[in-house]
Chains A and B, each alone.
Chain A
Amino acid sequence: MAEIRFEAQPVQRPGKSKLNNRIEMLDVILVVLLTGFAVAIILPFLNVIAVTFVTQQEYMKSTILLFPHSFTLENYKSLFEDGRIWTGYRTTLLLLVLGLPLNMFLTTSMAYGLSRPNFPFKKFFIYFVVITMLFSGGIIPMYLLMKELSLINTIWSIVLCYGINSFYLIIMMNNFTTIPISLMESAKLDGAGEWRILAKIILPLSMPIIATMTLFYAVDRWNEWFNAMIFIRKGDLTVLQLALRSIVIDSQISQQMNVSNVQTDKQFSEGMKMSAVIVSMLPIMCVFPLLQKHFVKGMLVGAIKA
């Protein structure tokens, strides 16, 4: 596999003439267009952040709210007093703690197994994986299966239903195939078994892809909500995203009822709702700028292979 140098300029132009070094009108238009889209992405987030720090009075007064003038933490206070966000955080962290090791164990062991050359039925097992990418049973049989396994209303339903992502598995498998086979052969001569080779040789050599896949799985787990909505109806096992959703929908309803008595309403529902949004995306917001390169790299490895 060729090394992907994403940071490098995609097209090297050695024959650059003087004309091309000049900043053309086109460049200006391009920068304006591209920056415009970036601003369109950033502004809604800035707006959300600003809303969390203002009082209802200021929210109603200002038409375009990007910087809070009166700074208040009341919204966050009422969010944490509400309690649902804590339940959400607890469940999602539990899901990460139980789910991520499972994801990584299943995916790495199977990816390594499948990356070994020429064992009988290798093709069969690869199609076995690929078919699941093209055709899936969907949520109803999954729900009935969980019911028959009596996993409904337990954390295990959402832990187990997302064990392997076939796409990630194939990315990892392709990555393992690039490791020189002589390394494994010599380890075998020394009497090492396949599991040992995986742990002692493959994993240390594949730390970048392991890290990337862990991140991908972690983000997927963090954003888990659909399966949880179907499998778990118990209030104290609400995942973070659904806790957020319930806060958002609740405050929408209270907003509709509060239209007439805006001034008397002490709790500012829009502010609390948006602080819930910020609290839910905070971890991703914090790690994303640092890890974006890994995400992109993982994606590229997959894209080039697929």
Chain B
Amino acid sequence: MENTLLKKNNSSLISRVLKSKEIYFLILPGVIWYVIFAYVPMYGLSLAFKTYKANLGIFGSPWVGFENFTYVFRDPAFLESVWRTLWINLGRILFQFPFPILLALLLNEIRMNRYKKAIQTVYTFPHFLSWIIVSSVLINSLDMQGFVNGVIQLLGGDPVNFLGNTQIFRPLLYITDNWKSAGWTMIIYLAAITGIDTEQYESAQLDGATRFQIMRYITLPGIQSTIVVMLILTVGNLMNAGFDQIFNISNAATAKAGEILDIYIYRITFQSAADFSFSSTVSLFRSVINFALLLFADRVCKWMGAEGLFPSMKKKARS
């Protein structure tokens, strides 16, 4: 298609395209995969504006305009799940986001390389397990007869129902998620610290700065752009509050407290009589909000003088 479009005004382009045809053959299998399994589903979200008929499929179902949206926004369970998702994620940004940064700053102060490596191995390990495994391990430790309550009783306290209490459900999410992946995120920050110019450290030491001052005035500003990028990515995911985690760690008692948007979509689509148009509408809403938030966060960060997300992407595209 591109060939015919450009034939009229640029014949040298055609010869360049023909010259590069081998490159197109290289990327062809990947492009085909992307079209079928990424772009067709993306187009499939157009079901939000259609009534899905199984015999007509995604492409053939009739258009209905914004009708589905009026139904969706009238569903109180939908609105509740949106607020719950935002609420849970706000907590993630406040309480969970800083922890890997702190770990990186602390670990950077350690000079025993052997110890450092061992710590990194331990910290990064849970990241490679699925939430099914991690939740099984943690539930085993946290339930009423579990190990943690054993320690609490040994110290003379009363056992705490960590898993069935809606009050501590959100802190539980933050703590368990950090348990699983803070170590892995820490690696990103450690890498950023490695990139800081060592001359800064040398001159700071000549000036007699304390270790805390060095950390506060050199290391932390040095990884600021990485923190900003991570923050933008987190904000761009504000509508996803961690399906895998909540799906596996919640139980009958906390199901309501954990019904985030993704769980809501799953419940209405795959656990009851499915209305695929309705679910697609919710799904589209989620994707659009996420995308808008990502762009918005990027803008705000640039406006505040940070580099933001997209310059690096453009650089990548040019290379």
Contacts and interface: CB of A to CB of B under 8 A. Distances in A.
Contact of B125 (A132, A144, A288): A288
Contact of A43 (B52, B58, B147, B187): B147
A44 B125 CA distance: 13
Interface string B24-67: 11110111011011111111110100001000011000000000
Contacts of B43: 137, 141
A299 B188 contact: yes
B125 A120 contact: no
**Interface residues of A, dominant DSSP:** helix
**Interface residues of B, dominant DSSP:** helix
B272 interface: no
B141 A47 contact: yes
B129 A281 contact: yes
B319 A284 contact: no
Interface in B93-141: 103, 106-111, 113, 115, 117-126, 128-130, 132-133, 136-138, 140-141
Nearest to A296: B187
A138 B187 contact: no
B40 A120 contact: no
Contact of A226 (B107, B120, B243): B243
A106 B33 contact: yes
Interface in B1-40: 2, 13, 16-17, 20, 22-27, 29-31, 33-34, 36-40
A11 B201 contact: yes
Contacts, number: 297
Given A174-B319, A300-B187, A142 B229 contact: no
Contacts of A17: 205
A45 B137 contact: yes
A11 B140 contact: no
Chain B, interface residues (CB within 8 Å), range: 35 or more
B194 A299 contact: no
Contact of B44 (A110, A145, A161, A174): A145
A140 interface: yes
B123 A288 contact: no
A6 to B, nearest CB: 7
B206 interface: yes
Interface residues of A, number: 114
Contact of B154 (A64, A130, A137, A292): A64
Interface in A251-271: 270
A94 interface: no
B147 A120 contact: no
Most buried by A among B38, B43, B57, B115: B38
Given A110-B26, A303-B226, 7 more contacts: A6-B194, A31-B110, A44-B141, A223-B129, A223-B130, A244-B133, A273-B140
9 contacts: A7-B113, A9-B111, A15-B202, A63-B153, A64-B154, A113-B27, A140-B276, A164-B30, A303-B191
Interface of A: 4-7, 9-17, 20, 24, 26-27, 30-31, 33-35, 37-38, 40-45, 47-48, 51, 59-60, 62-66, 105-107, 109-110, 112-114, 116, 119-121, 123, 125-130, 132, 134-145, 148, 160-161, 163-164, 169-170, 174, 177, 193-195, 198, 219, 222-223, 225-226, 230, 241-242, 244-245, 248, 270, 273-274, 277, 280-281, 284, 288-289, 292, 295-296, 299-300, 303-306
Interface of B: 2, 13, 16-17, 20, 22-27, 29-31, 33-34, 36-45, 47, 52, 57-58, 103, 106-111, 113, 115, 117-126, 128-130, 132-133, 136-138, 140-141, 145-147, 150-151, 153-154, 179, 183-184, 187-188, 190-196, 198, 201-202, 205-206, 211, 226, 229, 236, 243-244, 248, 265-266, 269-270, 276, 279-280, 283, 286-287, 291, 294, 312-313, 316-319
